[in-house]
Amino acid sequence: MSTADKPVDHESTHGDVPDSFEDPGLPYHRPRRADVDPKAANKAERQVAALFGLSILGTILALGAYFMIDMTGEIASIRFANMMIGLGIFLAMMGIGLGAIHWAKTLMRDHEMVEERHALRSSDEARAGAIQNLQDGVEDSGLGSDGSGTSRRGLLKGSLITAVLAAPLALLVPQIGNMGGQWNTREFAHTMWRQGMRLTRDPDGTPIKAADVTIGSAFHVIPDGLNDLEHGKIEAKAKAVVLLIRLDPRDLKIQPGREDWSFDGIVAYSKICTHVGCPVALYEQQTHHLLCPCHQSTFDVADGAKVVFGPAKRPLPQLPIAIDDEGYIVAKSDFHEPIGSSYWTRLKNTSDGLSGDTEGGSH
Ligand code: FES
């Protein structure tokens, strides 16, 4: 009866442990089909090349989707383009990965390697052996020369090199191309808000009267005319979205220099978090706190939207508002500081009148 078949006696287990174990040896080596059948090897080679080819097709799909699908119009076409770019990148990466695995499993030499325990620094012989193994690996992969000066497995080599060189393009081209002509970062400092432009409801674009905004209510706001833009609507909206909130005027701490930026307790702040730009959309009526769901930055609307908690470093920019002759709420100007992440405010005293860092954030 073998040791494995004996019932375990926990009392005497320690006494039964032998000083050494017999080397079980290696299991019987079964050659793979590609090792013994040249047709199977050729088939495996074609499969590997097909996977690398799939990767190349994925790259072409991503680039084709980026260049050929209109991403400036309807949200549906933007979603479709993003889906195709994502699918292309997935195929580009997966094709290389699966091709490499299939290559190693079916075509590279299949033999057991035994590595004896030894001192941390390998002996000179072991080092020479490692180099030899590497050279054997190159030989096994078929990428080396066959002695006549020509490379074997040229199809694999060519498809692999093409796939590896092409795959990064699926990531880089959309990233760089999305900058378009906007390498001038000052473009990000402005929004489409202008003096006299009405604040309208998001998404239907109906204007808002001061009488509609009751104490404690909050409106998601876009600029009047945004829905009529033919180009760049998404970008314009991403910068100009605003939250309009009415507080009891007695609760409002008017910031110095902003005495005429609000109306009877109605204030408007950028909805773009000053941490890394998520939409700040959770308003807690009792505390007047606005919460960003991404990393929990919390802004006090009653006190200039200063940061009271979280990683944001500055208050939400305030949109100065007034009331027009018909009682609608209008902007008095664009924001007086860049919206969004604090990065842009590192540009101190820009010549277009934007201010530098605004104090008030917690750390
Ligand atoms: S983006 Fe708002 S807290 Fe991070």
Q: What is the DSSP string of 17-31?
A: --SS-----PPPP--
Query: Mean pLDDT for the chain?
Result: 84
Identify which of 274, 278, 341 to mutate to test ligand 1's pocket (most ligand atoms within 8 A of the CB): 278
Domain range enclosing 61: 30-113+132-144+151-177
Identify which of 271, 297, 308, 341 to mutate to test ligand 1's pocket (most ligand atoms within 8 A of the CB): 297
Q: Is the CB of 276 under 6 A from ligand 1?
A: yes
- Is there a domain that residue 125 lies in? no
CB atoms within 10 A of CB 236: 18
Q: Calculate Rg over the CA atoms of the chain.
A: 33
Give me the pLDDT at residue 155, please. 83
| pLDDT, tens digit (0-9, with 9 covering 90-100), for 324-345 | 999 999 999 999 988 988 775 5
If DSSP codes are grouped into helix, strand and coil, which group holds residue 263? strand
Contact call for residues 226 and 236 (beta carbons, < 8 A)? yes
Identify which of 271, 290, 294 to mutate to test ligand 1's pocket (most ligand atoms within 8 A of the CB): 294
Q: Is the CB of 294 under 6 A from ligand 1?
A: yes
Contact call for residues 324 and 273 (beta carbons, < 8 A)? no
In which residue are the tokens 């190159």 written?
138
230 and 315 assigned to the same domain: yes
240 and 160 assigned to the same domain: no
| pLDDT, tens digit (0-9, with 9 covering 90-100), for 229-285 | 988 888 899 999 999 999 999 999 999 999 999 999 999 999 999 999 999 989 999
Identify which of 275, 290, 307 to mutate to test ligand 1's pocket (most ligand atoms within 8 A of the CB): 275
Pick the more confident residue, 43 or 117.
Answer: 43
Could you tell me where the beta strands, DSSP code E, fall in 65-140? none
170 and 202 assigned to the same domain: no
Closest ligand 1 atom to residue 311 Cα is 3
Per cent of the chain over pLDDT 90 is: 56
Give me the pLDDT at residue 199, please. 97
Give me the pLDDT at residue 142, please. 72
- Is there a domain that residue 290 lies in? yes
199 and 334 assigned to the same domain: yes
84 and 230 assigned to the same domain: no
296 and 239 assigned to the same domain: yes
Give me the pLDDT at residue 218, please. 93
Q: How many domains does the chain have?
A: 2
Q: Evaluate if residue 62 carries a pLDDT over 60.
A: yes
Q: For atom 4 of ligand 1, which residue has the closest CA?
A: 295
CA of 228 to the centre of ligand 1 (A): 30
- Is there a domain that residue 104 lies in? yes
Q: Is the CB of 275 under 6 A from ligand 1?
A: yes
pLDDT bracket for residue 118 (50, 70, 90):
low
| pLDDT, tens digit (0-9, with 9 covering 90-100), for 70-105 | 877 777 888 899 999 999 999 999 999 999 999 999
In which residue are the tokens 């992440």 written?
341
Contact call for residues 132 and 85 (beta carbons, < 8 A)? no
**Backbone torsions φ then ψ of 160, nearest 5 degrees:** -65, -50
- Is there a domain that residue 18 lies in? no
284 and 256 assigned to the same domain: yes
Q: Is the CB of 278 under 6 A from ligand 1?
A: yes
E strand or H helix that includes residue 289: strand 289-291
- Is there a domain that residue 15 lies in? no
| pLDDT, tens digit (0-9, with 9 covering 90-100), for 306-316 | 999 999 989 99
Closest ligand 1 atom to residue 310 Cα is 3
Q: Is the CB of 297 under 6 A from ligand 1?
A: yes
- Is there a domain that residue 286 lies in? yes
157 and 241 assigned to the same domain: no
Q: What angle, rounded to 10 degrees, do the helices at 75-106 and 154-177 form?
A: 150
**DSSP structure class, residue 229:** -
C-alpha span between 134 and 107 (Å, rounded): 16
**DSSP structure class, residue 347:** S
- Is there a domain that residue 242 lies in? yes
C-alpha span between 297 and 274 (Å, rounded): 9
238 and 156 assigned to the same domain: no
- Is there a domain that residue 3 lies in? no
Q: The dihedral of CA 180, 182, 185, 189: what is its sign? A: negative
Q: Evaluate if residue 206 carries a pLDDT over 50.
A: yes
Closest ligand 1 atom to residue 296 Cα is 3
- Amino acid identity, position 35: D
In which residue are the tokens 């796939």 written?
163
CATH code for position 299: 2.102.10.10
192 and 324 assigned to the same domain: yes
- What residues have CB less than 8 Å from 343, skipping those under 6 apart? none
In which residue are the tokens 């490379």 written?
151
CA of 311 to the centre of ligand 1 (A): 7
195 and 342 assigned to the same domain: yes
170 and 312 assigned to the same domain: no
Q: Evaluate if residue 143 carries a pLDDT over 90.
A: no
CA of 296 to the centre of ligand 1 (A): 6
Of 328, 98, 125, nearest in space to 223 by CA: 328
Closest ligand 1 atom to residue 277 Cα is 1
